[in-house]
Amino acid sequence: MIRKTAEPVFKPYVMGQVRLLPASYDEMIEPGHLVRVVNDAIDHLELKPLLAQYKGGGTSSYHPLMMLKVLVYAYTQKVYSSRQIAKALRENIYFMWISGDNHPDFRTINNFRSSRLKDVIDEVFAEVLEYLIEQGKVKLEHYFVDGTTIEANANKHKVVWAKSNAKYQKRVRQQIGELLNQIEAENEAEQAEYGEEDLEERGGPGDEEIDSTELKERMEKLNQRLREKGQTKPESKASRKAMRKLEKDCLPRLERYEHQAEVLGERSSYAKTDPDASCLRVKEDRGKEKPWPKPAYNVQCGTEGQFIVGFSVHTQASDMVCLIPHLEQVRQNTGGLLPQKIVSDAGYGSEENYAYLEEHHVESFLKYNTFYQDTHHYRNPEVRRAHEFRAEHFLYDAGTDTFYCPAGKSLKFKYASKKATATGYVVEQRYYECAECADCPLKSQCTKAAGNREIHVSLRSLEYRKKARENLTSEEGQQLRAKRSVEVESVFGHLKQNMGLRRFRLRGLEKVKTEFGLVSIAHNMKKLAA
């Protein structure tokens, strides 16, 4: 008997089918979906600062609540382009639902993100943080802070370097001095007034740190002198050439270098296409044969339970100088509160940072730069002995203000000096010298100086380091140190690897801060929905 093969059966497929009642988008969104979490969370926010950005009059605007929901949900889906967001609002059911079937174009989306949201991103993030605290997700107990560099949207080949700028300024000023001396020497009025007196001996322009304003004044004086003689330009061909070079070449160059120096400030570099971005080493370039600094921003981020509790964006390369501004931003977001305990790696352990945490009654678990050496037991005896001869390991007698080296020799106080940091914090350095090093059998291990061993220390810094070492080596400190690597480090990994944040798309510090704020809110929403 031959068995008949069954024919395949397909579900109905009819193009252009008409429905009496269109299906609700809400029926198509499953419960607990990420888009519902974003919608519910932002519905709980007041967003008064954002609403205040809109003034009365003119045509109607898209509701800022809807625009914020769309942006946050787009960032959770790794959709950052305003054109791609506008496309998703027409094609993606989840975007259609959360937007209420509104379809703002890409210009409207980009304007909202870069203009409307730019000035209030801190307030919006603060409200999201308050919502997380109400939900019990954040308790402000442990704060794990770290920094990472994220590449800026700037041309890495168009960079202004501070050293090069200073060199070029010096060169053009020397050239200006030579040209001015040449013109003065050939000017009859100058000779009539000063005779044979040498211009350089009168303090002429040859060695001056002349600026563009002064150069313009000197050129105006030269032109005025010519007008008094009834001339419009110097008679000498060489003088005319020198004046033309000053006006057309040297002055514009000097003005450009001065402007670049003003933009640089205390930084070592900046990108021409994004002047707020400094050239920093990007962690993704580690391991490359010739890693080169790129225009980037230093992003400081603090987490608790892998929720982003605080963030800030900086142009400085050092994490150490960024901690206090970062914590001030956290205080602003939390209504003046700081977490009870702060945990970080060795990039933050400075006297200024320890003093700040002590002032605000925050327990410090900040590593300092030599923490590993202080707690590691070296097997090599030579390395161990070299470590013992560091000044901070000398015994100190507070009563006599005397240090004692491993050989038992005393180092007496000589003098003290005070030095202010870039932020204005004053550090007192105390200098001590040993008077008995000549016949010491351990001198070769202690110092390479021909004379006696000298040390300079900050007693306050030593005390802070001792307290930090006690906290970090305690049972709680060891647990927090182990937890730090799975807290803020994993968050950075998620932002870069899973959310694709390896390069900012906006330019300028404020816009970059807005972009990272949206990414942080999107990360928290994804974590909340998990």
Instruction: Identify the pLDDT of residue 207.
Output: 43
- The answer to whether the beta carbons of residues 140 and 363 sit under 8 Å apart is no
Instruction: Identify the pLDDT of residue 390.
Output: 83
- For residues 28 and 149, which has the higher predicted lDDT (pLDDT)? 149
CA distance 468 to 466: 5
Instruction: Identify the pLDDT of residue 522.
Output: 96
CA distance 498 to 310: 20
Percent of residues, the chain, with pLDDT higher than 70 = 88
pLDDT, average across residues 446-472: 89
What is the value of pTM for the model shown? 0.85
> Alpha carbon of 393 to those of 13, 414, 442, 465, 468: distances in Å?
82, 19, 15, 11, 15
pLDDT at 326 over 80: yes
pLDDT at 202 over 50: no
Give 76-116 pLDDT, tens digit per residue.
999 999 999 999 999 999 999 999 989 999 999 999 999 89
In sequence order, what E strands does 362-462 have? 363-366, 395-397, 402-404, 410-420, 426-434, 454-457
Per DSSP, the three-state class of 398 is coil
- For residues 227 and 333, which has the higher predicted lDDT (pLDDT)? 333
Instruction: Identify the pLDDT of residue 11.
Output: 66
pLDDT at 327 over 80: yes
- The answer to whether the beta carbons of residues 495 and 149 sit under 8 Å apart is no
Give 278-307 pLDDT, tens digit per residue.
999 887 776 676 678 899 999 999 999 999
- Picking from 511, 505, 114, the residue whose alpha carbon sits closest to that of residue 276 is 511
pLDDT at 392 over 90: no
Least confident interval from 112-116, 185-189, 349-353:
185-189
Instruction: Identify the pLDDT of residue 243.
Output: 82
CA distance 179 to 241: 9
Instruction: Identify the pLDDT of residue 491.
Output: 94
pLDDT at 396 over 80: yes
Instruction: Identify the pLDDT of residue 66.
Output: 93
CA distance 394 to 508: 48
Where do runs of H (alpha helix) occur along 377-499?
Answer: 381-388, 443-446, 459-473, 475-493
CA distance 511 to 514: 5
- What's the mean pLDDT when you consider all of the chain? 86
Residue type, 513: K
